[in-house]
Amino acid sequence: MCQLLGMNCAAPTDVTFSFTGFAARGGVTDHHADGWGIAFFEDKACRLFIDHEASSRSPLAEMLKRYPIKSRNTIAHIRKATQGHILLENCHPFQRELWGRHWIFAHNGDLQDFNPVLSGVYQNVGNTDSELAFCLLLQGLRKAFPGAQPPLAELFDTLASLTREITQFGVFNFLMSNGQALFAHCSTHLYYLVRRWPFSTAHLVDADVSIDFAKYTTPEDRVAVIATQPLTDNEVWTRFAPGDLLMFQHGEVIAQASVPVPERVLEKLRDPSTDASASAVRPETAETARIEAEALDLEASDDRAAVQS
């Protein structure tokens, strides 16, 4: 199916380091070659880039590896199609408006016999189960809070209830953000880490690239990175438990809930051969997709208040 990448930060931060490894999974170190996308929040505004080409071959992805867009909330996605054709309108992340803010959503999974009734305010443009799920989530939030956005704690509780309804249809790993917080739900596979002072050196799994974060950070910086599979091989990643729904703000977890996962979904964890969302086996990933560190220009930023991550 797909892979997810999210980043939530205390200060605006660019994702070029993580995205370099992540993009390699779109056709080189893994088989997710049916399109990709990435969204960067900047206050209430959002920059969204999508492409139906494989991320490992996309000139747009190559440009973004070298363009340090700084954001407190970033969501990226690489696609292995299970529902919907390989078209631009089926590329994640998806974007909609609610309560005067952009909302961004990306999904890894497969929802079977999922045919929700949408009211008309939110309709799908493409033909994926993922976009339908996003529309249904926003429809539910709008119905629960018709006037204005509630406090984040209330929003989180309602999102947990809506997620519980959709999870019954299959694998529903997702990342979602309105630019104020980042929500992450795991049905099967999702990991996160929080980088904080004192920062150290990280090395990518999918490319022979390292970065010493201590050169770019201050004691006030804090960065949470969420991914379907760990992106680095020398840091400690925390695995989500099946059913975990986490809310990240300012680079740390501020709320957690557990959403029951159907037995047929848990079976995919016990037998990975039945899980289309699982990654392909990657032989000697760093050597297979060696990407030269000098191409990244990791020394480009003079802004010590914003860490590359």
Q: Which residue has the tokens 């590896």?
A: 65
* CA dist., res. 303 & res. 113, Å (int): 49
Domain holding 79, by residue range, is 2-296
Residue 24 phi, psi (nearest 5): -65, -25
User: CB 254: neighbour CB atoms within 10 A?
Assistant: 14
Instruction: Establish if 303 belongs to a structural domain.
Output: no
Residue type, 187: S
Instruction: Establish if 286 belongs to a structural domain.
Output: yes
Question: Could you give the residue numbers annotated as active site?
Answer: 2
User: CB 205: neighbour CB atoms within 10 A?
Assistant: 20
Instruction: Establish if 191 belongs to a structural domain.
Output: yes
User: CB 47: neighbour CB atoms within 10 A?
Assistant: 14
DSSP letter (8 states) at residue 191: E
Instruction: Establish if 309 belongs to a structural domain.
Output: no
Residue 144 phi, psi (nearest 5): -70, -35
Per-residue pLDDT of the chain (309 residues; tens, 9 = 90+): 689 999 999 999 999 999 999 999 988 888 777 889 999 999 889 999 999 888 989 999 999 999 999 999 999 999 766 665 678 999 999 999 999 999 999 999 999 999 999 988 999 999 999 999 999 999 999 999 999 999 999 999 999 999 999 999 999 999 999 999 999 999 999 999 999 999 999 999 999 999 999 999 999 999 999 999 999 999 999 999 999 999 999 999 999 999 999 999 999 888 877 666 555 534 343 333 333 333 334 433 334 334 456
Instruction: Establish if 61 belongs to a structural domain.
Output: yes
* CA dist., res. 53 & res. 228, Å (int): 20
Cis bond leading into 260, ω under 30°? no
* CA dist., res. 227 & res. 21, Å (int): 11
Nearest to 232 by CA among 254, 206, 212: 206
* CA dist., res. 64 & res. 51, Å (int): 12
Predicted TM-score of the model (pTM)? 0.89
What CATH number should be reported for the domain holding residue 63? 3.60.20.10
Nearest to 141 by CA among 172, 165, 125: 165
Domains in the chain: how many in total? Answer: 1
Instruction: Establish if 308 belongs to a structural domain.
Output: no
DSSP string for 145-185: SSSS---HHHHHHHHHHHHHHHHTTEEEEEEEE-SS-EEEE
Instruction: Establish if 301 belongs to a structural domain.
Output: no
Instruction: Establish if 102 belongs to a structural domain.
Output: yes
DSSP string for 110-129: EETT------SSS--SS--H
User: CB 52: neighbour CB atoms within 10 A?
Assistant: 18
pLDDT at 283: 37
Query: Which value, in Å, is the radius of gyration of the alpha carbons in the chain?
Result: 18
